[in-house]
């Protein structure tokens, strides 16, 4: 048997984190067993499904690297197949037309609830051979659920779950407008696509019983089910698309790497010993649906940030750089106009928890300062600073090879000549070239900026200080000026 899993989102919103975890679990199980992974778009809800949501789902899957072997299939393109199966079920007496009005069904339900009974259709039309005389609306089609016995879901996460058939409804499989319903089309799709394992949220567990009865009516064996527990937000509330669960692409926009997201998602409800860091290959090697926890998993942003920084520091800098380039582009920066992007990653990885932080902290590599951080300038700039910067500029301009080592030696030479500590030279120099008090080590910073940009920025800072500090230093007590 070839293992075949599927991810079947409805395009009524973004790909949120719960759906992404389901996709990952399904993808991993197929990859571990040398099987196939199918992407199916369940877009029969025409009122709520949108092309924009479909594109967002596809974009999220691509960003996470969850490639699919078949699809994407769209249910709206398979209506002819659904009609074929519906006619077969009607002809075999396994389904029937129900002419009850919506008002009657609602009154029936209200009465059952008032008597504290489980609401379900009373099967009034189940044995009809022709429409009743008082039929005034197009009928729905209902499936003839077995009236006796039990339906057992042998779930790989929840264990053996038993449903009494007399408590199950004769579910509607075709609406009055002729459109098929979720439970029917899912069964037909899983059958036609030879899906062997269905991994999905445990809010579908009750649907599994209904779907198993439908599958048996079609004469095929049901797939293996694994219903994974819900995800809770950091406040302990259930995550849901309708409640505004964070979309996968929001995490991208916040500066997370896909590797960190995958590692984070796989640990939401699954574990392999005490291991926390998993490469993709390790996930594929170790993942098993039998090891999924039954209890709900909770989001933990500090852990995600920790994972993200780990991958920022350990992934190939050129790979991180490709993702960093996107964040720089959003900020109007063309990375080609600055130092090699992988060198910026190397210099900033230990200083950043997200790509968003890394991008913000790296803007100075691409733009000359237009002002200086007021607090930092007040502390580091004085009337003597222009002279200090001029000596640094003279020392740097004489370098034959603009390297980290050469820059370091030049700055140290000025500190020794003035009889001061390195920091007393490096910090005003840093603010002069970066505009603020934070950057990678000054020798790395200047080597990446390059000779021309460094000398230009140092000279501009000298002029600014001479104009704004003077004897009173009043400019540093107000808003920063322009260099």
180 beta partners:
174
Is-contact 403 385, C-beta < 8 A?
Answer: no
CB atoms near residue 243 (< 10 Å): 10
C-alpha to C-alpha distance for 21 and 268, rounded to whole angstroms:
8
Two tokens, residue 270: 């699954």
Alpha-carbon distances, residue 405 vs 55, 309, 325, 412, 446 (angstroms) = 49, 27, 27, 11, 11
CA distances to 40, 67, 368 from 431, rounded to whole Å, are 54, 46, 11
State the DSSP string of 331-382: TT--GGGSS-HHHHHHHHGGG-SSHHHHHHHHGGGTS--SS--HHHHHHH--
Residue 161 CA to residue 152 CA, distance in Å, equals 6
Q: Which of 241, 303, 375, 421 is catalytic?
A: 241
Q: Which of 191, 106, 131, 204 is nearest to 161 (CA)?
A: 204
Whether the CB-CB separation of 465 and 386 falls below 8 Å is answered with yes
- What is the sign, positive or negative, of the torsion defined by CA atoms of 135, 137, 139, 140? negative
Active site residue 144: no
| 456 backbone dihedrals φ, ψ, rounded to 5° | -65, -45
| Spatial CA neighbour of 126 closest among 107, 109, 108, 147 | 147
Q: What radius of gyration do the chain's Cα atoms show? A: 32
Cα–Cα distances in angstroms (integers) from residue 471 to residues 11, 346, 384, 464, in the given order: 66, 41, 11, 14
Residue 111: partners with Cβ closer than 8 Å, 6 or more residues away: none
Q: Is 343 exposed, middle or buried (0-12, 13-18, 19+ CB in 10 A)?
A: middle
Longest distance between any two alpha carbons in the chain, whole Å: 108
Let me know: does 69 contact 95? Beta carbons within 8 Å.
no
Give yes or no for a contact between 165 and 147, defined as CB atoms under 8 angstroms apart.
Answer: yes
Q: Which residues have CB under 8 Å from 290's CB, separation 6+? A: 156
Q: Which residues are catalytic?
A: 241
């Amino acid at each position: 048997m070839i293992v075949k899993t599927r991810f079947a989102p409805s395009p009524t919103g973004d790909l949120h984190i719960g759906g992404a975890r389901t996709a990952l679990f399904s993808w991993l199980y197929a990859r571990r067993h040398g099987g196939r992974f199918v992407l199916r778009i369940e877009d029969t809800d025409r009122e709520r499904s949108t092309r924009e949501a479909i594109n967002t789902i596809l974009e999220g899957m691509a960003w996470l690297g969850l490639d699919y072997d078949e699809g994407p299939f769209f249910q709206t393109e398979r209506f002819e197949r659904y009609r074929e199966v519906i006619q077969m079920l009607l002809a075999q007496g396994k389904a029937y037309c129900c002419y009850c009005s919506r008002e009657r069904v609602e009154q029936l339900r209200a009465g059952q609830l008032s008597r504290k009974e489980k609401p379900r259709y009373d099967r009034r039309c189940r044995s009809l051979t022709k429409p009743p005389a008082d039929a005034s609306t197009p009928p729905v089609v209902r499936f003839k659920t077995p009236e006796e016995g039990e339906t057992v879901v042998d779930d790989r996460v929840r264990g053996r779950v038993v449903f009494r058939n007399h408590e199950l409804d004769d579910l509607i499989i075709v609406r009055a407008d002729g459109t098929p319903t979720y439970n029917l089309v899912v069964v037909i799709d899983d059958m036609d696509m030879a899906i062997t394992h269905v991994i999905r949220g445990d809010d579908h567990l009750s649907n599994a019983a209904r779907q198993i009865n439908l599958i048996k009516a079609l004469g095929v064996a049901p797939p293996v089910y694994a219903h994974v527990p819900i995800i809770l937000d950091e406040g302990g509330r259930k995550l849901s698309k309708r409640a505004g669960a964070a979309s996968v692409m929001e995490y991208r926009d916040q500066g997370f790497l896909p590797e960190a997201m995958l590692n984070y998602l796989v640990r939401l409800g699954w574990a392999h010993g005490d291991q926390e860091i998993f490469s993709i290959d390790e996930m594929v090697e170790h993942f098993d649906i039998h090891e999924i926890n039954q209890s709900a998993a909770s989001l933990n942003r500090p852990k995600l940030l920790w994972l993200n920084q780990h991958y920022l520091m350990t992934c190939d800098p050129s790979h991180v750089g490709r993702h960093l380039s996107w964040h720089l582009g959003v900020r109007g920066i063309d990375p080609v106009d600055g130092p090699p992007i992988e060198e910026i990653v190397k210099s900033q990885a230990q200083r950043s928890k997200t790509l968003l932080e890394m991008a913000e902290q790296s803007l100075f590599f691409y733009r000359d300062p237009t002002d200086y951080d007021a607090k930092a300038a007040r502390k580091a700039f004085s009337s003597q600073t222009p002279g200090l910067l001029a000596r640094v500029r003279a020392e740097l301009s004489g370098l034959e090879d603009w390297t980290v080592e050469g820059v370091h030696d030049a700055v140290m030479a000025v500190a020794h000549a003035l009889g001061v500590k390195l920091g007393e030279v490096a910090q005003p120099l840093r603010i002069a070239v970066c505009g603020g008090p934070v950057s990678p080590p000054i020798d790395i910073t200047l080597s990446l900026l390059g000779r021309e940009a460094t000398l230009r920025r140092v000279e501009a800072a000298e002029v600014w200080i001479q104009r704004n500090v003077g004897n009173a230093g009043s400019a540093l007590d107000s808003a920063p000026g322009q260099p």
